[in-house]
Amino acid sequence: MFKKSSMSRRRLLYMGVSGLAGAIAVAVAKDRLPIYPSQAVNNLTRDFKVAGLTPLKGRATAKGLIYGAASGQDFLASDKTLQASIVRECGILVPENELKWQFLRPRPDVFDFSKSDWLAQFARTHKMLFRGHTLVWYEQLPEWFKEVVNRQNAEKFFVEHITTVTKRYAGQMHSWDVVNEAIEPDDGQKAGLRKSPWLEFLGPDYIELAYRLAAQADPKAMLVYNENALEYSGRKEEVKRTAVLKLLERLKSRGTPIHALGIQSHLVAQEGALNAKKLRSFLSDVASLGLKILITELDVSDQKLPLDPAVRDRIVASVYEDYLSVVLDEKAVIAVLNWGLSDRHTWLSTFTPRSDGAPVRPLPLDSSFKPKLAWNAMARAFDQARKR
């Protein structure tokens, strides 16, 4: 989920860089890039070689996985090269913004499905799965929301929105991010819930209500709880993982129709670190509830890495491969989705730009839609994953 405020809390994966010599060592020292000896990788000797030219979706499918990416309708409709790249590499398409309240509801009594319908048609035309993001979130609400929605009418708007949107795409969606980012322990609410208009107006049961409404309107879709900042091993992340797990346990114990956890995975290359054992344990705990797991918004910020693109690309690729090697160990993980496919179209250009003005390079394809080492890293991770 892209927004600037959450990135400061996303102290996500970096599995370590050491053994860098010559120019790389100088660049690293100059930029004070952290070194993590206990989980070091030598980026000079890691070759990122892959066998063949099979696209990412094919490599994923061979292991029983789904691979795809998010894209904005404006970008996709106007960029034929992006279209070709999405069709070649992706088995599932996710609208970046088009199904969020802010863009879907220009007025309280009006829904505008024109852009989301275009994306749904694009997915059908190219025999791709389609994914809904997101029905309930505390951000990116329309400007009219604060003036119109209150404690007296919030449930009416809530029910109307979820029912209308899910019914429109009933039978077309692989999965829905029904509720997004409902946990924030630092907010001091009971059960670690995040302060939000929905919690204020409807109380904590708004989460369960959302899933029951979605399931009633679209019984064939996989219903997902999507959350950020679950990957790292800092105190805040551990507290958040515990709160998320308890939320999932509560929902399951009440018979709530929830099928999967979405782990956003907005990773930050210069920060860390990952505790692979703890992350695997968390994934196993989620799977033990009978839930599937999706990696829903994967990218790797290179905001504070050295300027040299070759250095950055090696570090970013290492993060991709190392992270995926951990999460794909868990057979409940069924999908990996990038938040964007090409560096030409990435939210990180706006929300976490580099101070030196250099273009960011967080995605598998570069700004010319050529595969980077990050593509190789993902391909290698899929090739080495256990078959589902």
Residue 165 token pair: 């949107």
Distance CA 198, CA 308 (A): 45
SS3 232: coil
Distance CA 356, CA 373 (A): 22
Distance CA 302, CA 175 (A): 30
Contacts of 120 (CB under 8 A, 6+ apart): 130, 169, 172
Backbone angles phi, psi at 94, to 5 degrees: -125, 125
Pick the catalytic residue from 89, 184, 237, 297.
297
For residue 37, is it left (φ>0), alpha (ψ between -120 and 50) or beta?
alpha
Task: Give DSSP secondary structure letters for 305-367.
Answer: S-S-HHHHHHHHHHHHHHHHHHHTTSTTEEEEEES-SBTTS-THHHHS--TT-PPP--SSB-T
Distance CA 57, CA 89 (A): 5
Residue 247 token pair: 């939320």
Pick the catalytic residue from 181, 227, 231, 237.
181
Distance CA 228, CA 65 (A): 21
CB 338 within 8 A of CB 70: yes
- Known active-site residue 181: yes
* Residue 143, burial from CB neighbour count under 10 angstroms (0-12, 13-18, 19+): exposed
Distance CA 118, CA 123 (A): 9
Active site residues: 181, 297
